[in-house]
Amino acid sequence: MIDDLNKLNQVDFIEELGWIFEHSPWVAERAWSSRPFRSLAHLQKSMEDVVEQASGEEKLALLRKHPDLAARVQMADASVKEQAGAGLDALTEEEYKEFLELNDLYKEKFAFPFILAVKGHTKESIRNAMQTRLKLSERNELEEALNQIYRIAQFRLETVIKN
């Protein structure tokens, strides 16, 4: 519950929510000072504001903390579950190679991994999104990647907080 989060000291708050933004507990650390949170939406907006107010370097570092979609690498438990839910843990060898190629093209162009809130997506819709977003400008894609991170955070917060 949101009331319980409002009662936490900063260390405990970070322990509870530091994972919401992939390997970036600094978001929760800075959002803590916005207490008391009136709702899940207020907490989420406070965390998004922290990211929006971060330096360009911090935003880029946050983006780079996300794993490549469909990558067979060590990643945060939340990312593993999210990707499995979209079928990215069961790709054929050909599909896997295609995702690797798309990930490489994307990172070469934008210098951070492709990020998508995969809940509700299939491997086909993810592939289509990657192909479409590769055509965006750097500025537009940075904005879209951050919006996707905010959606991921919303889904993660919803699993933790029951209003």
Token pair recorded at residue 48: 């998004």
User: Which 8-state DSSP code applies to residue 103?
Assistant: H
Domain range 2-160, its CATH number among 3.40.50.2000, 1.10.3330.10, 3.90.650.10, 3.30.365.10: 1.10.3330.10
Please check the confidence at residue 80 and state whether its pLDDT lies above 50.
no
Contact (CB, 8 A) for 23 and 33:
no
Euclidean distance between CA atoms 112 and 67, whole angstroms: 10
Query: Would you call 112 helix, strand, or coil by DSSP?
Result: coil
Q: CB-based burial of residue 63 (10 Å sphere; 0-12 exposed, 13-18 middle, 19+ buried)?
A: buried
Say how many C-beta atoms besides its own lie within 10 A of residue 144's C-beta. 15
Euclidean distance between CA atoms 152 and 116, whole angstroms: 8
Long-range CB pairs of 105-113 (<8 Å, 24+ gap) are 105/134, 106/130, 106/133, 106/134, 107/68, 109/134, 109/138, 110/138, 110/141, 110/142, 110/145, 111/60, 112/60, 112/63, 112/64, 112/66, 112/145, 113/63, 113/64, 113/66, 113/67, 113/68, 113/69
Instruction: Assess whether 66 carries a catalytic annotation.
Output: yes
The pLDDT score that the predictor gives to residue 122 is 86
* Higher local confidence (pLDDT), 29 or 75: 29
The pTM assigned to this predicted structure is 0.86
The pLDDT score that the predictor gives to residue 73 is 42
Please check the confidence at residue 83 and state whether its pLDDT lies above 70.
no
pLDDT, averaged across the chain: 89
Q: How confident is the model at residue 70 (pLDDT cuts 50, 70, 90)?
A: low
The pLDDT score that the predictor gives to residue 74 is 44
pLDDT digits (tens, 9 = 90+) for 40-58: 999 999 999 999 999 999 9
pLDDT digits (tens, 9 = 90+) for 16-38: 999 999 999 999 999 999 999 99
pLDDT digits (tens, 9 = 90+) for 132-160: 999 999 999 999 999 999 999 999 999 98
